[in-house]
């Protein structure tokens, strides 16, 4: 059987195909079919010839095999220093080998490469900081994922995830109507507490266009209300787009570059339609990476920037606190030992390290903040990045991968960790459950709601 | 033999070395692709140059980066080798004389004592790198015969040069052998991993520009390499 009904080289293009694949619970048939999936070697080698440019070729070629990347990789460290977990080995034995063999690899090889690309690398990019040649193996694994996706060797959940973006322009089956209705409903819930609270939809030329993570709409709608409340209290002129509101990209984790482009184009479309001064995205790391850092290149924007200045939620929050748009009640600042999780996707990969510390200086009472070690751009991945959190097939490996963050957290002695990133938040929630770690975890928004001062003119009349 | 190795063969080796490495550098730059690499190389010259300079500079500093500090043994081995590998070929008295005779280019010469020290340091550095390859599982798994070949090609000019310098054995023989290995190294450089002589700078500049332009250089203080 060259290609299966579920497991094949064709991306999910329709709602019907998506639902059918979803019905194959856990991807049982999907993975069964994958065992017989043929490698289209001409396609593989042809793609490499077209897309493997000098940066990646040079990286593969000049790797000095010095092993300095080994200790930089948290997956190596928690695998009893198994040499097969050395980043250089992982990429040389997969992408390097495919290139050396000119694409002449078989099904078993592709299975090995798939496991390496999705269960032995979270694309956290930390190794790139520790290589004397500046070889970023996370970037290469991203490239390898693209090749594997094209061949149909991709974990079931990510094939679905990429399909979701293709069908719904969202990582979940949340329609534009669902988004607007949920946001409006959540805002109504809080109207009494915050008179005048609204969610302006499709307002032209607002100061802020707010975009979210579809999970918030589907599973954590309070997050939408909290965002609305904080914008409201800060007196911001903000809006949400009725379409193009989804900032995330499971397609990026899957290596489905075409879907990546479709997704960011929907957000950029909203920017062009509504002409806001800038965009603010929610507390999500990979969403920011996808829409703000990588997205412009997928969309073919030569300036490497989205159509309007786009910032992460932490940037907006730091600014609001700095300029006094939001004021914290000093009595309500955090007074337990607290630490912050530096998300790879906007700390290491977008330089926002000091911004989050600035927020800490406003919301944590002096003396209670604890840095993780290492921290900032040298912080370790939460353990669930790059799609790892969501892949059932690699759940045991993912749970093992949480050990690094568990030990980092325990070493701080903190009772709470602030995780302004959905992926990190999930991973920390899971490690708390898996290892019974006594630590609370939170996004910023719910913490802010509890401590922000409500200006007199915005208070309910009876208070 | 000396005349041949110090004359036409020397000139040829230099040409292969410089032209070869230049071509590698040009190929590298020509093969960069703003959209495929996802770095808007040409759009932000300021942050690009700053990012590239920081990325190269910190890594040229002994213990200047988190990576160097995390691996002191490797750092010592690396700098022992590379200090000698860069300075000895250029500024050793004998080398400057041969270069002047063959090309007319006059470089200043370093005192013999420093040259001795750097040469021994380079040999020790190479020995330490070889030891790492044998002793550490994480390096062993990456190591192939090719990696030892590169170490050997690098070690040969130093070892033969030291033998000649101390007149241990037939001086003329060892000197010729030294020149031969030196020229082998020059000729192989553009075609092997020794091309990192130039590609180190290209690759580090690229990742520096990547971080400087795209991955946050514009947002803050820049990457703490």
Decide if B209 is inside a domain.
Answer: no
- Say how far apart CA A304 and CA A382 lie, in whole Å: 27
Select the residue from A55, A63, A303 to test the B interface by mutation, using most B Cβ atoms within 10 A: A55
Beta carbons of A351 and B30 less than 8 Å apart: no
B207 touches A: beta carbon within 8 Å: yes
Q: Determine the Cα angle at A348 with ends A335 and A122, to 5°.
A: 100
Select the residue from A59, A66, A86, A352 to test the B interface by mutation, using most B Cβ atoms within 10 A: A66
**If one looks up domain A330-451 in CATH, what number appears?**
3.40.50
What does the pLDDT read at residue B220? Answer: 75
Q: Which residues are A310's β-sheet partners?
A: A279
Residues in chain A within 8 Å Cβ distance of B139 = 65-67, 70
Min CA distance, A327 vs chain B (Å)?
Answer: 24
Residue ranges in chain B whose pLDDT is less than 50: none
Decide if B93 is inside a domain.
Answer: yes
Decide if B185 is inside a domain.
Answer: yes
Looking at chain B from residue 102 to 141, which residues have their Cβ under 8 Å from any Cβ of chain A? 129, 132, 136-141
Q: Say if residues A192 and A200 touch (Cβ distance below 8 Å).
A: no
- Which among A415, A416, A408 has a CA at the least distance from the CA of A447? A416
Give the three-class secondary structure for A238. strand
Decide if B189 is inside a domain.
Answer: yes
Distance of CA A137 to the CA centre of its chain: 18
User: First vs last Cα of chain B: how many Å apart?
Assistant: 48
State the count of interchain CB pairs (< 8 A) between A and B. 161
Min CA distance, B27 vs chain A (Å)?
Answer: 8
Q: Say if residues A38 and A32 touch (Cβ distance below 8 Å).
A: no
Backbone angles phi and psi of A280, in degrees to 5: -120, 130
Percent of chain B topping pLDDT 70: 100
User: First vs last Cα of chain A: how many Å apart?
Assistant: 70
For residue B111, the domain's CATH number is 1.20.950.20
Q: Which residues are A328's β-sheet partners?
A: A452
Map tokens 């266009």 to a residue: A209
CA dihedral A304, A309, A313, A317 (to 10 degrees): 140
Q: Which residue of A has its CA nearest to B59?
A: A132
- Which among A391, A458, A460, A398 has a CA at the least distance from the CA of A431? A398
Please tell me the total number of residues recorded for chain A in this structure. 463
- Say how far apart CA A324 and CA A338 lie, in whole Å: 23
What are the angstrom distances between the C-alpha of A116 and each of A60, A98, A372, A394, A428?
17, 13, 28, 11, 23
Number of domains in chain B: 1
What does the pLDDT read at residue A2? Answer: 84
Sorted by sequence, the CB contacts under 8 Å of residue B5 that are 6+ apart come out as: B176, B179, B180, B183
Phi-psi region of A194 (alpha: psi -120 to 50; beta: other; left: phi over 0): beta
Tokens of A110: 């592709």
What does the pLDDT read at residue A436? Answer: 96
Decide if B168 is inside a domain.
Answer: yes
Per residue in B49-69, is it b (16+ CB within 10 Å) or e — as a string?
ebbbebbbebbeeeeebbbbe
Beta carbons of B142 and A65 less than 8 Å apart: yes
What does the pLDDT read at residue A463? Answer: 60
- Say how far apart CA A261 and CA A304 lie, in whole Å: 13
- Which among A1, A462, A443, A456 has a CA at the least distance from the CA of A225? A443
Residue ranges of chain A assigned to CATH 3.40.50: 330-451
Residues in chain A within 8 Å Cβ distance of B38 = 294, 297, 304
Beta carbons of B207 and A136 less than 8 Å apart: yes
What does the pLDDT read at residue B221? Answer: 80
Q: Which residues are A416's β-sheet partners?
A: A338, A440
Tokens of A284: 């999500």
Give the three-class secondary structure for A240. strand
User: Per residue of chain A (463 residues), what is the pLDDT tens digit?
Assistant: 589 999 999 999 999 999 999 999 999 999 999 999 999 999 999 999 999 999 999 999 999 999 999 999 999 999 999 999 999 999 999 999 999 999 999 999 999 999 999 999 999 999 999 999 999 999 999 999 999 999 999 999 999 999 999 999 999 999 999 999 999 999 999 999 999 999 999 999 999 999 999 999 999 999 999 999 999 999 999 999 999 999 999 999 999 999 999 999 999 999 999 999 999 999 999 999 999 999 999 999 999 999 999 999 999 999 999 999 999 999 999 999 999 999 999 999 999 999 999 999 999 999 999 999 999 999 999 999 999 999 999 999 999 999 999 999 999 999 999 999 999 999 999 999 999 999 999 999 999 999 999 999 999 987 6
Beta carbons of B210 and A136 less than 8 Å apart: yes
Sorted by sequence, the CB contacts under 8 Å of residue A41 that are 6+ apart come out as: A103, A104, A105
Sorted by sequence, the CB contacts under 8 Å of residue B182 that are 6+ apart come out as: B13, B89, B157, B161
Min CA distance, B54 vs chain A (Å)?
Answer: 12
| Nearest beta carbon to residue A132 from set B43, B67, B137 | B67
- Say how far apart CA A240 and CA A225 lie, in whole Å: 12
Give the DSSP letter of residue A310: E
ipTM over 0.90? The verdict is yes
On the CB side of A49, CA atoms within 13 Å amount to 9
Tokens of B118: 């750097």
- Which among A340, A330, A345 has a CA at the least distance from the CA of A441? A340
Decide if B134 is inside a domain.
Answer: yes
Q: Determine the Cα angle at B17 with ends B12 and B18, to 5°.
A: 105
Domain housing B123: 2-11+71-202
Sorted by sequence, the CB contacts under 8 Å of residue A224 that are 6+ apart come out as: A182, A183, A186, A187, A199, A212, A216, A217
Residues in chain B within 8 Å Cβ distance of A350 = 215-216, 219
- Say how far apart CA A390 and CA A392 lie, in whole Å: 6
Decide if B57 is inside a domain.
Answer: no
Min CA distance, B80 vs chain A (Å)?
Answer: 15
Other Cβ atoms closer than 10 A to A421 = 31
Residues in chain B within 8 Å Cβ distance of A296 = 40
What does the pLDDT read at residue A1? Answer: 53
Cis peptide before A152 (omega within 30 of 0): no
Q: Which residue of B has its CA nearest to A345?
A: B215
């Amino acid at each position: 059987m060259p290609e299966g009904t579920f497991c094949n080289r064709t991306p999910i293009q329709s709602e019907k195909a998506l639902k059918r694949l979803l019905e194959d619970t856990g991807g049982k048939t999907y993975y069964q079919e994958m065992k017989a999936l043929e490698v289209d070697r001409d396609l593989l080698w042809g793609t490499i010839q077209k897309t493997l440019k000098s940066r990646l070729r040079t990286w593969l070629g000049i790797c000095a095999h010095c092993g300095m990347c080994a200790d930089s990789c948290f997956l190596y460290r928690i695998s009893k220093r198994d040499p097969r977990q050395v980043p250089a080995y992982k990429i040389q034995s997969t992408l390097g080998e495919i290139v050396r063999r000119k694409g002449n690899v078989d099904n078993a090889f592709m299975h090995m490469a798939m496991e390496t690309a999705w269960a032995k690398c979270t694309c956290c990019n930390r190794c790139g900081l520790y290589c004397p040649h500046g070889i970023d193996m996370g970037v290469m694994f991203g490239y390898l994922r693209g090749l594997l996706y094209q061949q149909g060797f991709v974990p079931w959940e990510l094939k679905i995830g990429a399909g979701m973006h293709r069908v719904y322009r969202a990582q979940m089956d949340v329609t534009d109507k669902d988004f607007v209705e949920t946001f409006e409903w959540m805002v109504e819930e809080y109207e009494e507490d915050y008179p005048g609270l609204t969610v302006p939809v499709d307002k032209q030329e607002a100061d802020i266009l707010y975009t979210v993570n579809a999970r918030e709409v589907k599973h954590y709608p309070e997050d939408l209300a909290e965002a609305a409340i904080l914008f409201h209290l800060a007196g911001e002129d903000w809006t949400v787009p009725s379409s193009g509101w989804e900032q995330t990209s499971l397609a990026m984790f899957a290596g489905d570059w075409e879907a990546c482009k479709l997704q960011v184009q929907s957000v950029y479309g909203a920017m062009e339609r509504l002409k806001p001064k800038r965009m603010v995205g929610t507390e999500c790391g990979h969403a920011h990476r996808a829409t703000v850092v990588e997205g412009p290149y997928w969309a073919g924007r030569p300036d490497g920037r989205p159509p309007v200045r786009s910032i992460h939620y932490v940037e907006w929050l730091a600014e609001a606190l700095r300029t006094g748009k939001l004021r914290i009640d000093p009595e309500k600042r955090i007074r337990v030992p607290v630490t912050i999780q530096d998300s790879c996707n906007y700390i290491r990969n977008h330089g926002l390290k000091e911004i989050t510390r600035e927020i800490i200086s406003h919301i944590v009472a002096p003396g209670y903040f604890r840095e993780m070690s290492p921290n900032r751009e040298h912080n370790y991945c939460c353990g669930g990045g790059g799609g790892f959190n969501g892949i059932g097939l690699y759940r045991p490996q993912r749970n093992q991968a949480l050990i690094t963050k568990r030990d980092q957290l325990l070493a701080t002695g903190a009772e709470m960790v602030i995780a302004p990133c959905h992926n990190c938040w999930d991973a920390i929630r899971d490690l708390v459950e898996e290892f019974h770690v006594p630590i609370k975890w939170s996004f910023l928004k719910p913490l802010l709601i509890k401590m922000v001062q409500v200006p007199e003119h915005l208070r309910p009349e009876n208070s | 033999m000396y005349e041949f190795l110090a004359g036409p063969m020397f000139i040829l080796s230099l040409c292969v070395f410089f032209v070869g490495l230049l071509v590698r550098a040009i190929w590298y730059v020509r093969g960069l692709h703003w959209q495929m690499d996802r770095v808007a190389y040409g759009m932000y010259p300021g942050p690009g140059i700053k990012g590239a300079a920081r990325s190269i500079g910190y890594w040229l500093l002994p213990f200047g980066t988190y990576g160097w500090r995390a691996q002191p043994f490797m750092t010592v081995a690396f700098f022992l080798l590379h200090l000698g590998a860069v300075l000895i070929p250029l500024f050793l008295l004998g080398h400057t004389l041969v270069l002047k005779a063959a090309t007319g280019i006059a470089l200043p010469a370093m005192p013999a004592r420093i040259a001795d020290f750097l040469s021994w340091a380079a040999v020790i550095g190479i020995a330490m790198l070889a030891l790492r390859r044998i002793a550490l599982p994480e390096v062993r798994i990456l190591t192939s015969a090719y990696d030892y070949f590169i170490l050997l090609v690098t070690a040969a000019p130093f070892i033969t040069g030291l033998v000649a310098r101390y007149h241990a054995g037939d001086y003329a023989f060892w000197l010729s052998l030294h020149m031969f290995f030196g020229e082998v190294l020059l000729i192989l450089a553009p075609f092997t991993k020794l091309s990192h002589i130039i590609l180190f700078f290209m690759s580090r500049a690229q990742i520096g520009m990547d971080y400087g332009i795209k991955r946050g250089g514009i947002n803050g203080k820049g990457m703490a390499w």
